Protein backbone atom coordinates (compact mmCIF):
# COMPACT_ATOMS: atom_id res chain seq x y z
CA UNK A 1 0.00 0.00 0.00
CA UNK A 2 1.45 3.35 -1.04
CA UNK A 3 0.91 6.15 1.48
CA UNK A 4 1.83 9.73 0.53
CA UNK A 5 1.87 12.72 2.89
CA UNK A 6 1.79 15.83 0.70
CA UNK A 7 2.70 18.47 3.29
CA UNK A 8 4.29 16.96 6.36
CA UNK A 9 6.74 19.71 7.35
CA UNK A 10 4.58 21.59 9.86
CA UNK A 11 3.55 18.35 11.55
CA UNK A 12 7.07 16.94 11.65
CA UNK A 13 9.93 19.30 10.79
CA UNK A 14 12.34 16.62 11.95
CA UNK A 15 11.72 16.27 15.67
CA UNK A 16 9.27 13.34 15.46
CA UNK A 17 9.35 9.87 13.96
CA UNK A 18 7.39 8.63 10.94
CA UNK A 19 7.92 4.99 11.98
CA UNK A 20 4.27 4.37 12.88
CA UNK A 21 3.24 5.29 9.34
CA UNK A 22 6.17 3.55 7.66
CA UNK A 23 5.10 0.31 9.32
CA UNK A 24 1.80 0.41 7.38
CA UNK A 25 3.18 0.44 3.84
CA UNK A 26 5.32 2.27 1.33
CA UNK A 27 5.32 5.67 3.01
CA UNK A 28 6.63 8.91 1.50
CA UNK A 29 6.41 12.33 3.16
CA UNK A 30 7.02 15.61 1.35
CA UNK A 31 7.60 18.85 3.22
CA UNK A 32 5.31 20.87 0.95
CA UNK A 33 3.28 20.34 -2.22
CA UNK A 34 2.71 23.73 -3.79
CA UNK A 35 1.61 23.09 -7.39
CA UNK A 36 -0.88 20.83 -9.10
CA UNK A 37 1.96 19.30 -11.11
CA UNK A 38 3.70 18.28 -7.89
CA UNK A 39 0.47 16.92 -6.44
CA UNK A 40 -0.37 14.76 -9.47
CA UNK A 41 3.18 13.47 -9.83
CA UNK A 42 3.66 12.61 -6.17
CA UNK A 43 0.20 11.13 -5.61
CA UNK A 44 -0.21 9.37 -8.96
CA UNK A 45 0.11 5.87 -7.46
CA UNK A 46 -1.05 6.67 -3.94
CA UNK A 47 -3.75 4.53 -2.39
CA UNK A 48 -3.73 6.60 0.79
CA UNK A 49 -3.19 10.35 0.71
CA UNK A 50 -2.46 12.41 3.82
CA UNK A 51 -2.90 16.19 3.74
CA UNK A 52 -2.78 18.97 6.25
CA UNK A 53 -3.42 22.19 4.32
CA UNK A 54 -2.92 21.04 0.71
CA UNK A 55 -6.34 21.43 -1.00
CA UNK A 56 -7.98 18.47 -2.72
CA UNK A 57 -10.67 19.47 -5.22
CA UNK A 58 -13.04 17.47 -7.39
CA UNK A 59 -10.67 17.91 -10.34
CA UNK A 60 -7.80 16.60 -8.24
CA UNK A 61 -9.69 13.39 -7.50
CA UNK A 62 -10.10 12.85 -11.25
CA UNK A 63 -6.30 12.75 -11.55
CA UNK A 64 -5.86 10.16 -8.79
CA UNK A 65 -7.48 6.93 -10.02
CA UNK A 66 -5.82 4.65 -7.43
CA UNK A 67 -6.81 6.73 -4.42
CA UNK A 68 -8.80 4.82 -1.80
CA UNK A 69 -8.51 6.88 1.38
CA UNK A 70 -7.80 10.49 2.38
CA UNK A 71 -6.54 11.27 5.87
CA UNK A 72 -6.49 14.86 7.09
CA UNK A 73 -3.78 15.60 9.65
CA UNK A 74 -6.07 18.01 11.47
CA UNK A 75 -9.53 18.25 12.97
CA UNK A 76 -10.81 20.69 10.36
CA UNK A 77 -11.21 19.22 6.88
CA UNK A 78 -12.36 22.21 4.85
CA UNK A 79 -9.33 21.83 2.54
CA UNK A 80 -10.89 18.67 1.07
CA UNK A 81 -13.96 18.56 -1.16
CA UNK A 82 -15.49 15.83 0.97
CA UNK A 83 -18.61 15.51 -1.19
CA UNK A 84 -16.51 14.94 -4.31
CA UNK A 85 -14.62 12.25 -2.41
CA UNK A 86 -17.85 10.66 -1.20
CA UNK A 87 -19.25 10.48 -4.73
CA UNK A 88 -16.17 8.50 -5.72
CA UNK A 89 -16.44 6.19 -2.74
CA UNK A 90 -13.34 7.64 -1.08
CA UNK A 91 -13.68 8.06 2.68
CA UNK A 92 -12.10 11.12 4.29
CA UNK A 93 -10.91 10.69 7.89
CA UNK A 94 -9.80 13.47 10.18
CA UNK A 95 -7.77 13.59 13.39
CA UNK A 96 -10.52 14.81 15.66
CA UNK A 97 -9.63 15.60 19.24
CA UNK A 98 -5.85 15.50 18.91
CA UNK A 99 -5.31 19.15 19.89
CA UNK A 100 -8.23 20.06 22.12
CA UNK A 101 -6.07 20.76 25.17
CA UNK A 102 -3.39 22.55 23.14
CA UNK A 103 -5.85 24.90 21.42
CA UNK A 104 -7.71 25.60 24.66
CA UNK A 105 -4.35 26.43 26.23
CA UNK A 106 -3.56 28.90 23.42
CA UNK A 107 -6.97 30.55 23.67
CA UNK A 108 -6.30 31.04 27.37
CA UNK A 109 -2.80 32.37 26.71
CA UNK A 110 -4.19 34.93 24.26
CA UNK A 111 -6.84 35.97 26.77
CA UNK A 112 -4.28 36.31 29.55
CA UNK A 113 -2.00 38.41 27.35
CA UNK A 114 -4.92 40.73 26.57
CA UNK A 115 -5.81 41.09 30.24
CA UNK A 116 -2.62 40.51 32.26
CA UNK A 117 -0.11 41.57 29.56
CA UNK A 118 2.92 39.60 30.79
CA UNK A 119 4.47 39.48 27.32
CA UNK A 120 3.81 43.17 26.72
CA UNK A 121 5.58 44.22 29.91
CA UNK A 122 8.43 41.76 29.49
CA UNK A 123 9.17 43.26 26.07
CA UNK A 124 8.74 46.83 27.34
CA UNK A 125 11.26 46.18 30.09
CA UNK A 126 13.83 45.07 27.53
CA UNK A 127 13.52 48.61 26.20
CA UNK A 128 13.97 50.34 29.57
CA UNK A 129 10.34 50.83 30.58
CA UNK A 130 10.80 49.84 34.23
CA UNK A 131 14.37 51.08 34.50
CA UNK A 132 13.20 54.56 33.57
CA UNK A 133 10.32 54.57 36.04
CA UNK A 134 10.27 56.86 39.08
CA UNK A 135 8.13 54.33 40.99
CA UNK A 136 8.53 50.75 42.21
CA UNK A 137 5.92 49.65 39.65
CA UNK A 138 4.67 51.10 36.41
CA UNK A 139 2.13 50.33 33.69
CA UNK A 140 0.88 51.87 30.48
CA UNK A 141 -2.07 49.53 30.00
CA UNK A 142 -4.47 48.47 32.75
CA UNK A 143 -4.57 44.89 33.97
CA UNK A 144 -7.97 43.20 34.12
CA UNK A 145 -9.21 40.46 36.47
CA UNK A 146 -11.21 37.69 34.83
CA UNK A 147 -13.07 36.46 37.90
CA UNK A 148 -16.83 37.08 37.60
CA UNK A 149 -16.49 38.30 34.00
CA UNK A 150 -18.78 36.69 31.41
CA UNK A 151 -17.23 34.46 28.74
CA UNK A 152 -19.01 32.84 25.80
CA UNK A 153 -17.65 29.85 23.89
CA UNK A 154 -18.92 29.69 20.32
CA UNK A 155 -18.93 25.99 19.42
CA UNK A 156 -19.10 23.78 22.49
CA UNK A 157 -17.17 20.75 21.21
CA UNK A 158 -13.99 19.12 22.49
CA UNK A 159 -11.97 22.35 22.48
CA UNK A 160 -14.85 24.34 23.92
CA UNK A 161 -15.24 21.92 26.83
CA UNK A 162 -11.53 22.08 27.69
CA UNK A 163 -11.57 25.87 27.45
CA UNK A 164 -14.62 26.00 29.72
CA UNK A 165 -12.75 23.98 32.34
CA UNK A 166 -9.92 26.54 32.35
CA UNK A 167 -12.19 29.59 32.38
CA UNK A 168 -14.26 28.04 35.14
CA UNK A 169 -11.12 27.68 37.24
CA UNK A 170 -10.43 31.38 36.66
CA UNK A 171 -13.82 32.20 38.15
CA UNK A 172 -15.55 33.28 34.94
CA UNK A 173 -19.28 33.01 34.31
CA UNK A 174 -19.80 30.73 31.32
CA UNK A 175 -22.07 30.87 28.28
CA UNK A 176 -22.17 29.02 24.97
CA UNK A 177 -23.41 29.52 21.44
CA UNK A 178 -24.10 25.94 20.48
CA UNK A 179 -26.38 23.65 18.49
CA UNK A 180 -26.67 21.53 21.64
CA UNK A 181 -29.83 22.00 23.71
CA UNK A 182 -29.41 23.55 27.14
CA UNK A 183 -29.90 20.21 28.90
CA UNK A 184 -26.81 18.80 27.16
CA UNK A 185 -24.59 21.63 28.41
CA UNK A 186 -23.05 21.71 31.90
CA UNK A 187 -25.35 23.31 34.48
CA UNK A 188 -23.10 26.36 34.82
CA UNK A 189 -22.95 27.01 31.03
CA UNK A 190 -25.90 29.06 29.83
CA UNK A 191 -26.88 28.92 26.17
CA UNK A 192 -27.23 32.31 24.46
CA UNK A 193 -27.31 33.67 20.92
CA UNK A 194 -24.30 35.04 19.06
CA UNK A 195 -25.81 38.53 19.20
CA UNK A 196 -26.29 38.24 22.96
CA UNK A 197 -22.71 37.04 23.35
CA UNK A 198 -21.27 40.05 21.53
CA UNK A 199 -23.47 42.58 23.29
CA UNK A 200 -23.24 41.25 26.86
CA UNK A 201 -20.06 39.21 27.35
CA UNK A 202 -16.56 40.38 28.21
CA UNK A 203 -14.96 37.49 26.30
CA UNK A 204 -16.11 35.62 23.18
CA UNK A 205 -14.01 32.69 21.98
CA UNK A 206 -14.59 31.19 18.52
CA UNK A 207 -14.11 27.42 18.69
CA UNK A 208 -16.41 26.19 15.91
CA UNK A 209 -15.63 24.61 12.53
CA UNK A 210 -15.84 26.71 9.37
CA UNK A 211 -18.92 25.92 7.28
CA UNK A 212 -20.62 27.65 4.33
CA UNK A 213 -23.28 28.95 6.71
CA UNK A 214 -20.94 30.64 9.21
CA UNK A 215 -18.33 32.13 6.90
CA UNK A 216 -17.69 35.75 8.02
CA UNK A 217 -20.35 35.45 10.69
CA UNK A 218 -18.44 38.10 12.63
CA UNK A 219 -19.22 41.04 10.38
CA UNK A 220 -19.96 44.75 10.57
CA UNK A 221 -23.59 44.15 11.56
CA UNK A 222 -22.64 41.94 14.49
CA UNK A 223 -19.78 44.18 15.56
CA UNK A 224 -22.13 47.16 15.70
CA UNK A 225 -23.74 45.38 18.67
CA UNK A 226 -20.47 44.61 20.43
CA UNK A 227 -19.82 45.42 24.06
CA UNK A 228 -17.00 48.03 24.02
CA UNK A 229 -15.12 45.94 26.62
CA UNK A 230 -15.33 42.76 24.52
CA UNK A 231 -12.20 40.65 23.93
CA UNK A 232 -12.70 38.46 20.85
CA UNK A 233 -10.56 35.32 20.54
CA UNK A 234 -10.28 33.20 17.40
CA UNK A 235 -8.34 29.93 17.46
CA UNK A 236 -10.68 28.25 14.96
CA UNK A 237 -10.60 29.56 11.38
CA UNK A 238 -9.74 32.99 10.02
CA UNK A 239 -12.65 33.06 7.62
CA UNK A 240 -15.15 33.02 10.48
CA UNK A 241 -14.61 36.78 10.59
CA UNK A 242 -14.74 39.61 8.08
CA UNK A 243 -11.20 40.85 8.66
CA UNK A 244 -11.78 44.30 7.20
CA UNK A 245 -14.84 44.80 9.40
CA UNK A 246 -13.00 43.63 12.51
CA UNK A 247 -10.03 45.89 11.81
CA UNK A 248 -12.31 48.86 11.17
CA UNK A 249 -14.21 48.23 14.41
CA UNK A 250 -10.92 48.17 16.32
CA UNK A 251 -9.81 51.46 14.77
CA UNK A 252 -13.19 52.91 15.77
CA UNK A 253 -12.84 51.56 19.35
CA UNK A 254 -16.01 49.51 19.09
CA UNK A 255 -14.55 46.63 21.10
CA UNK A 256 -11.51 46.07 23.28
CA UNK A 257 -9.24 43.55 21.54
CA UNK A 258 -8.93 40.84 18.91
CA UNK A 259 -6.66 37.89 19.69
CA UNK A 260 -6.18 35.23 17.03
CA UNK A 261 -4.05 32.30 15.96
CA UNK A 262 -5.64 32.12 12.49
CA UNK A 263 -6.15 34.40 9.50
CA UNK A 264 -8.18 34.09 6.31
CA UNK A 265 -5.07 33.37 4.21
CA UNK A 266 -1.99 31.74 5.69
CA UNK A 267 0.69 32.88 5.54
CA UNK A 268 -1.01 36.30 5.42
CA UNK A 269 -0.39 39.05 2.93
CA UNK A 270 1.56 41.99 4.34
CA UNK A 271 -1.49 44.22 3.89
CA UNK A 272 -3.87 42.04 5.91
CA UNK A 273 -5.70 44.67 7.99
CA UNK A 274 -5.60 42.58 11.18
CA UNK A 275 -1.81 42.77 11.30
CA UNK A 276 -1.79 46.55 11.75
CA UNK A 277 -5.08 47.14 13.56
CA UNK A 278 -4.82 48.41 17.13
CA UNK A 279 -5.18 46.07 20.12
CA UNK A 280 -4.56 42.87 18.18
CA UNK A 281 -2.52 39.89 19.31
CA UNK A 282 -1.72 37.54 16.42
CA UNK A 283 0.13 34.23 16.63
CA UNK A 284 1.09 32.23 13.50
CA UNK A 285 -1.35 29.28 13.64
CA UNK A 286 0.67 27.46 16.28
CA UNK A 287 -2.02 26.59 18.85
CA UNK A 288 -2.19 23.02 17.59
CA UNK A 289 1.55 22.45 17.35
CA UNK A 290 2.67 21.25 20.78
CA UNK A 291 4.97 18.24 20.61
CA UNK A 292 2.34 16.18 22.39
CA UNK A 293 -0.44 17.16 19.99
CA UNK A 294 1.69 16.49 16.92
CA UNK A 295 2.55 13.06 18.25
CA UNK A 296 -1.15 12.38 18.75
CA UNK A 297 -1.82 13.32 15.12
CA UNK A 298 0.67 10.73 13.89
CA UNK A 299 -0.93 8.16 16.20
CA UNK A 300 -4.40 8.97 14.88
CA UNK A 301 -3.27 8.92 11.25
CA UNK A 302 -1.72 5.49 11.75
CA UNK A 303 -4.81 4.27 13.57
CA UNK A 304 -7.13 5.57 10.83
CA UNK A 305 -5.14 3.87 8.09
CA UNK A 306 -4.82 0.59 10.02
CA UNK A 307 -8.56 0.58 10.76
CA UNK A 308 -9.29 1.10 7.06
CA UNK A 309 -7.12 -1.85 6.03
CA UNK A 310 -9.00 -4.00 8.56
CA UNK A 311 -12.40 -2.91 7.28
CA UNK A 312 -13.20 -0.96 10.46
CA UNK A 313 -13.04 2.60 9.17
CA UNK A 314 -13.10 5.38 11.80
CA UNK A 315 -13.20 9.17 12.08
CA UNK A 316 -14.99 9.44 8.73
CA UNK A 317 -16.36 12.89 7.93
CA UNK A 318 -18.08 12.12 4.61
CA UNK A 319 -19.96 8.86 5.25
Q: Quote the pLDDT of residue 4.
A: 98
Q: How many CB atoms lie within 10 A of CB 85?
A: 22
Q: Which residues are catalytic?
A: 237, 266, 285
Residue numbers of the chain with a pLDDT score lower than 50: none
Indicate the burial class of 313 (C-beta count within 10 angstroms; 0-12, 13-18, 19 or more): middle
| This prediction's pTM | 0.91
Q: Quote the pLDDT of residue 217.
A: 98
Q: Quote the pLDDT of residue 193.
A: 98
Nearest residue to 143 via CA among 113, 173, 107? 113
Cα dihedral sign for 46, 53, 317, 89? negative
Q: Domains of the chain (ranges plus CATH)?
A: 2-98+290-309 (3.40.50.720), 100-282 (3.40.50.720)
CA–CA dist 233, 220 (Å, integer): 17
Q: Which stretches within 43-174 are classed as H helix?
A: 58-62, 82-87, 100-115, 118-126, 158-169
Q: Quote the pLDDT of residue 76.
A: 87
DSSP 15-73: SS--HHHHTTSEEEE-S---SHHHHHHHTTT-SEEEESS--B-HHHHHT-TT--EEEES
| pLDDT tens column, 162-198 | 999 999 999 999 999 999 999 999 999 999 999 999 9
Amino acid sequence: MKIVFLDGHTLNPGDLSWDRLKALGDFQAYDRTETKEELYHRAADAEVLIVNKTPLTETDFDHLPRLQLVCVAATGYDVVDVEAARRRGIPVCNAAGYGSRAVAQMATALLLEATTRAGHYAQANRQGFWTNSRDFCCWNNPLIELADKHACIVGYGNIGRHLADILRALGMKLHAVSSKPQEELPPDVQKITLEEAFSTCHVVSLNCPLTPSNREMVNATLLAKANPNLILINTARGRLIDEKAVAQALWENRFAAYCCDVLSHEPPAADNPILTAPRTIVTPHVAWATVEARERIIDILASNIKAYTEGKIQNVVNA
